[in-house]
Amino acid sequence: MRLKNLLFAGMLVLAMVAPSFALPINEPPPAGAILDLNGLPIPHGAPQEYSVDFTATLPSTAITFAFRDDPAYITFTNASVVDLTTSSGNLLTNGNFSGGTYTDNGNSLTPNGWTYANTYGAAFGGQVIGSAWVDGAVQAYDAISQTIGTNSGDLYQISFYVTESSGYTFFSDLSTNGDITDDGGNGIDVLAYAQAGLPPAGTVPEPCTMLFLGLGLIGVAGVRRKVKK
């Protein structure tokens, strides 16, 4: 059995032990995305660049990326936001994810300069591995976000690179293959937001955090090994 399935089985045991612990069921993405890869071909191997423009309306703008990958993992790299009006450099802090990590909202591998949200309690939330954000959130979306200074009326461009490790062909914002409860679904997607997206994580239990506490560092190391393959 695949490692992700084994860990998921461990989560189901935790769910039975703790009745208040609930796994998400095919949660849709947060509303308000300005870029949704749903329906586009999934890149495997060489990362594919994606971009979207927006006009700022506020002196600061929250830039958020949301992720879901039921069966496998998304590798997300080289995120940037530039002001096309003034020809600025990258306005994101640590956009290449090589600037270290810290603990935020229960995730000990949140990239410095970013905040982490797992509002819906998705299993296998993302983490920094090497110089990439690697995310396999199951049956719901988690997200990373940061707020940048913006000039009202200026045109900005968000860009990033993605590759993915499943055998599926197209991004899908929901699982459509009949599996809406575990990592056998085909929900795989990346979304970008400007001044929208997932709210901060609150008191919702985070399955990935609870599982790691239950299985210890050996389980965490196993997840990392699987991602690197």
Give pLDDT tens digits along the chain (229 positions): 354 554 444 444 333 333 444 789 999 999 999 999 999 999 999 999 999 999 999 999 999 999 999 999 999 999 999 999 999 999 999 999 999 999 999 999 999 999 999 999 999 999 999 999 999 999 999 999 999 999 999 999 999 999 999 999 999 999 999 999 999 999 999 999 999 988 765 534 444 443 433 333 334 334 433 343 3
pLDDT of residue 23: 84
Q: How many residues does the chain have?
A: 229
Structural element, H or E, at residue 127: strand 127-129
Q: How many domains does the chain have?
A: 1
Q: Which of 59, 60, 55, 57 is nearest to 34 (CA)?
A: 55
**CA–CA gap between residue 106 and residue 101 (Å, rounded):** 13
Sequence-separated (6 or more) residues with CB below 8 Å from residue 41: 169, 170, 171
**CA–CA gap between residue 196 and residue 33 (Å, rounded):** 7
Domain membership of residue 70 as a residue range: 3-228
